[in-house]
Structure formats: C-alpha cells, structure tokens
Structure 1
Amino acid sequence: MFEFSWPWLFLLIPLPLSLLLLKPIASNSNTRLRIPGFAKHALNNPNSAPQSRRLSIFEWLLWLLLVSAAANPTWLDEPILLPNEGRDIMLAVDLSGSMTEQDMAYNGQYVDRLTMVKAVLSDFIEQRTGDRLGLILFGDTAFLQTPLTRDLKTVTKMLNEAQIGLVGRATAIGDALGLSVKRFASKEDSNRIVVLLTDGQNTAGNLDPDDALLLAREEGIKVYTIGVGSDNPRGFSLFNMGGSGGSNLDERLLKNIADDTGGLYFRAKDVAGLKQIYAELDKLEPISADEKTFRPQSSLFYYPLLIAIFLISINVMLNTLRTLKEPS
C-alpha cells in the first residue's frame, strides 16, 4: 500500500499563488523579486506586471514535487505476523581473564573457553525464534550489551564482538545477576529467565551474589547457571602455564543460585555439556501474548526530490546557455 506520512503538507500547494497575489504590495515599496534559474519573469519590469501573477507549468510541477517529497511518500509491504508466544531470556556471559584458557575440545582441537562459548551460544541464539533475548557481559563489573529484543542477529553480533578484558579480568557474578534482575523489573507478564555462564568464582563487583540471589527469588526470575571448564590437564592459559581444569569454579554457588530460583545447573566440560540447556529451555512453556503484526516500510521521498533537483539543474543549464548566446 502507498501512503504519505504527512498528507496535510499538500495544503501548501496554493502557497506560491498567495505570494504572487501579495506581489503588488512589494512592488509599491520598490521591492524587486528575482528567481535565479527559472524561466525569466521580468518582475522588475512595470510593463510585465500582469504576467508576474502567473506561474509556468514547469514551476507548478517543481513546487508539487517538492511538496510531495516533504509529505514523505511511503510504501507499506504486506503485514508480517509476529510470534505471539515466546520467552524472555537474558544471557550473562563471563569475560574474565580465565576465559582465555585453552582447555575446551571443539571441532577436533583445543580452543579457549570464550571461543567455544561464542560458537555454541551463537547456535543457541539462532534457535530462539519467538523469544526475546538480551546480553549482559561481566568482568570487574557487569554492563548491558543488548537489551531484550527479537533481533537475534544483533544479539549474535554483539556476542561475537565481545573480547576478554572488555570489562576487566575479574568475575562479578553478583553484579551480573543483579543487573539481569533489574532489566526484568518491568516485565511482569514474562516467564523471565537468566542464563548465567561463568568459569570462576565471585571476585569483584558491588553486589554480593547472595544479595543478588535474594532479589532474583523475590522477582520470580528463574536462573540457569553454567559452569565452564574442562577437567583436561592439557589446558593452556595466556596468564598461567597449564590449565586450571576448572579448579577455580565455584560450583556450590552456581548450584545454589539455580536451585533457589527453580532453574538448573550445568557443568560444561565440552560442547555436549553446554548444549544440554537447549532441551531444558525448550521444555519451558512459552508465554502467550496478543497477536501483533508488523508492516515493513520503505520511504520514497527521495524520488520526487531527485526529480525536482534534476529539473532545476536542466533549467539552470538551459538558461545559462541561452545567456551565453545572447549578444553582449
């Protein structure tokens, strides 16, 4: 469907005629009007006063094109039905220094923990059709990278752009959980879910994990925790020779957070372990919402604007050539 965003602007079409009617008043005060580039109206010639009250077809066409562009013509595509069922899921991903440990087997080789998490979570995000996802990154503190959205491509892009040290190299689990709870505060109609992924223990932040857990429990937010780290001694870290084998992982805290909020704890020693959460989240009953539609819009204002600019350019060029041919 075709429409104008501001059709009331077409009320300005008679404006040039109104200005011309006021021209005699300006003439009496010795005001001279010159319009460069257009067909010559000898407005400063008293003998041509009657002709100055008319606009050429070209000038009317030009004015109509400019008004049409200002009214913003828009093409509306067919309505797209948005999913009316889904979950609200906030992903909290650890970017502490220990995530550089290369102790995770992936595609036949050992990679660092963050690389494996990005690969598996990217696949997880793509399967969340109908869900709204958000992304929180945490290290010394936590910050919101992506608010809740159905734009899964943006969430995946932001996750893949995350780098170790972006928010420090410590682990603020309490801050990450607390920020997740805060982002869910206005989502009463949602089965709010937090997926908190870390490979360490709380070593930084302004909020104690127990206090953050209390907030999550009071808000009815279900937290799924994932402990990342292999028991394979072949691990390698940029900070320590040899892998930690997940020895710094505070499993007691992660299990406590999951149990107290009705979620589950997973130990991701490899790709298969991390993928377990797929099936568990799919078992959750999605929240139904009112059916909504979305109509993609394409603004077309530049078409009449470009035509007007083209006509002005041609007119100026013709008048310039005519002037050059006239005898001096």
Structure 2
Amino acid sequence: MISFETYWFFLLTPLPWLIYAWLPAVGDQSPALRVPFTDDLASLTQQTQLSSGKSPINILLLTFIWLCLLVAVNRPIATGDAIQLPTEARDMMLAVDISGSMEERDMMLNGKNVRRIDTVKHVLSDFTDRRSGDRIGLILFADQAYLQVPLTYDLATVKQLLNEAQLGFAGQKTAIGDAIGLSIKRLIERPNESRTLILLTDGANNAGNVAPLDAAKLAAENAIKIYTVAIGADTIVERSFFGNRTRNPSRDLDETTLKSIAKQTGGQFFRAKNTEDLQGIYSELDKLEPVDQEAQFYRPIKQLFYIPLGIALGTTFLLLLLNIFIQLKRKLLDSKALNEQSP
C-alpha cells in the first residue's frame, strides 16, 4: 500500500498559477528595431509558437514537473504486509565478571592455555549464536556494574561487544550484588516467566554497594531466576627452577554465596573447572523453556520519494532539450526566410 508521510505540501499545488496571475509580467526591455518586413517576421513567430513559454507543451511539462516535486516532498512510502515477530522467546541478562582475576590462565582452549575471560568469550559466543529469536542483554561488572547492551534481538551486537570487553576498564574487584541489582532493574518490566539472569564470576563479592544475598532476595521477590556459574580450575601445576608447585587459583571463589543466590531465586548453581564444563553448562541452559509473549507485528516500509524526484529531473532535462531543438529550428527558419526576402 502506498501512502504519504505528510500531505500538507499538496496545498502548494496552485502556487505557480497564483504567482503567474498576481505578479506583474516583466516587460520587454530590448530596444525596438524597425524593419521593413515586420509582417513576415510575425508570420514566422506564429509558425514557431512552440518555443514560447506559453506553448501548450511547455505548460503541460512544467505542470507535470511541479506535481512530481510535490509528490516527492510529501515523502511517498510503500508499506508491506504485516510480518509477525517470534512469539516464543527467552529474555536473558548475561552478567559477566571482568575483574582482574579473570586474567588467570588456568583454562585450555584448542590445546592452549588461555585466560578465563577468553574461554568465557568463546563459549558465550556460541551460546549467543544459538539464541535466534531470543532477547539478550549484557552486563559487565568489576568494581561496578555496567549495562553494556540492553535486552535486544540484535544478538550480533551482543556478541561483538562481549568480544570487545577488556579486563580492567571497570576495575579489579568484584561487585556481584551490584550486577544482580542492575539486572533486576532491566528485567523487572518483562513477563514474570521470562525474567532470567545468568551470572558468571570467578571470585567473591568485595566491592559495590549491594550485598549479593540482599540483591538475590529482591530478585526472588520480583520472580527473577538467577543461574550462577563459577569458573576457575581447582588446581594448576606451576613449573619453576626449584621444581613443580601445585596452586589453587580459585581459592577466593565464594561457592557458598553463589549456591545460595541460585537456590533463593529458583535457579541453579554450576561449577566450570574447564572449558568443557563451561560448554556443558550453557548447553544445559539451552533447555530453559521459552515464554509465550503477545504476538507483535511490524510492516516493512520503503521510501519512494526518489522515484517522482527522478521523473521530475528527467522531465526537466527533456524540456530543456526540446526548447533547445525548437530554438535551433527557429533560427534555421528565420535565416532561410531572411535569405528569401533578400533581393
């Protein structure tokens, strides 16, 4: 269906005729020249009246150009048939820890030791790719929590901004409570069955203004389910000049609080000691049931103003060529007539 964004400019349709009718005509300022064959020139002028601005063809073409310009300036649009958006979807907030401890290289990816954050980016990228039709948001937290991407169907942007996240720009500590509080603020407007937070961290809450369990209580009151994911190996072997040394890189991980958060909100706690564990956790999270939402529709809209604008420009060019041709033809006829009148 074709319509216009506005119709007001059509009120200008009679403007050229009003200007022609009310403004005085410009007089002929050229000096008079008397010639003995005035009658012959008058007859030639009548024969070539198409060159005059008042000729029917000129008036018709100028009218057509003016109407095309009015159509273009009123912004014609073509509206397509209604298209239904997916009616089953998950609304998930991903809260990812980017504190300094995520720099720890205790994960294996493609046979190489990599940082925890690199493993998270890899696994979450695959997880996001499988979320077609879902709405996902992204929160990054360290000393404070930041909303990186609000809930959106644009999963490519979520994936891109996750992969661009850098450790340290939000600080070195871990504000788990603040991350949950910010997630509540973004999810509270969604349907009760659709409020889900996936919280991934490798440490304990040691920053922020909100205690994690207090935030979890508020989440439970607002029917927000929290799945907590603790990442980090239990032991790693470090080789040195004095021999091998075993170290626990996850000694600061507060599993007790994370388990309590998940239990209090009706979610589940997961422990990822390696990349395979983390991949299995997100495969398990894939089984979350989608929520039925009200059907939403949109109609694709295509701008068409360039069509009448192009026609107007093309007609103007044609009019110029036509008048140039007529002027040249008139000069040839005038020259021929003058030669015939010469003795």
Tell me, yes or no, whether TM beats 0.5. yes
Gaps spanning 5+ residues in structure 1: where? 28-42, 237-241
Structure 1 pair 218/189, CA: closer, same or farther in 2 (3 Å)?
Answer: closer
Say if 2:271 is the partner of 1:267: yes
1:183-194 paired onto structure 2 within 5 Å: 183-194=186-197
Say if 2:43 is the partner of 1:61: no
Deviation above 4 Å: which 4+ runs of structure 1? 306-320
The amino acid of 2:27's aligned partner reads: N
CA RMSD of aligned residues (A): 3.3
Quote how far apart the aligned CAs of 1:147 are.
Answer: 1.0
**Identity of aligned pairs, percent?**
47
Say if 2:281 is the partner of 1:299: no
The amino acid of 2:155's aligned partner reads: L
Quote how far apart the aligned CAs of 1:252 are.
Answer: 1.1
1:94-113 paired onto structure 2 within 5 Å: 94-113=97-116
Does the CA-based 8 Å contact 2:192-2:224 persist in structure 1?
Answer: no
* Deviates most, 64-73 or 99-108: 64-73
Quote how far apart the aligned CAs of 1:174 are.
Answer: 0.8
Quote how far apart the aligned CAs of 1:120 are.
Answer: 0.7
Aligned counterparts of 1:113 and 1:206: Cα–Cα separation in 2? 26
The amino acid of 1:252's aligned partner reads: T
Aligned counterparts of 1:230 and 1:221: Cα–Cα separation in 2? 29
The amino acid of 1:85's aligned partner reads: E
Quote how far apart the aligned CAs of 1:302 are.
Answer: 3.4
The amino acid of 2:295's aligned partner reads: E
1:44 to 8, 18, 26: 26
Structure 1 pair 277/61, CA: closer, same or farther in 2 (3 Å)?
Answer: farther
Quote how far apart the aligned CAs of 1:314 are.
Answer: 8.6
Structure 1 match to 2:36: none
Structure 1 match to 2:124: 121
Output the TM-score relative to the length of structure 2.
0.75
SS for the counterpart of 1:205 is coil
Output the TM-score relative to the length of structure 1.
0.78
Structure 2 match to 1:219: 222
What's the CA shift string for 1:104-142, capped at 9, x where partnerless?
111121111111111111111121223211111111101
Say if 2:117 is the partner of 1:135: no
Aligned counterparts of 2:252 and 2:318: Cα–Cα separation in 1? 74
Say if 2:259 is the partner of 1:255: yes
Quote how far apart the aligned CAs of 1:274 are.
Answer: 1.5
1:1-328 paired onto structure 2 within 5 Å: 1-7=1-7, 9-23=9-23, 27=24, 43-45=25-27, 56-234=59-237, 245-306=249-310, 308=312
* Deviates most, 187-196 or 105-114: 187-196
* Deviates most, 3-12 or 150-159: 3-12
Structure 1 pair 92/319, CA: closer, same or farther in 2 (3 Å)?
Answer: farther
Quote how far apart the aligned CAs of 1:169 are.
Answer: 2.0
Aligned counterparts of 2:280 and 2:73: Cα–Cα separation in 1? 55
Aligned counterparts of 1:184 and 1:66: Cα–Cα separation in 2? 48
Gaps spanning 5+ residues in structure 2: where? 30-52, 240-245, 332-343
SS for the counterpart of 1:157 is helix
What's the CA shift string for 1:245-287, capped at 9, x where partnerless?
2222111111111111010111112222122333443433322
Aligned residues: 298
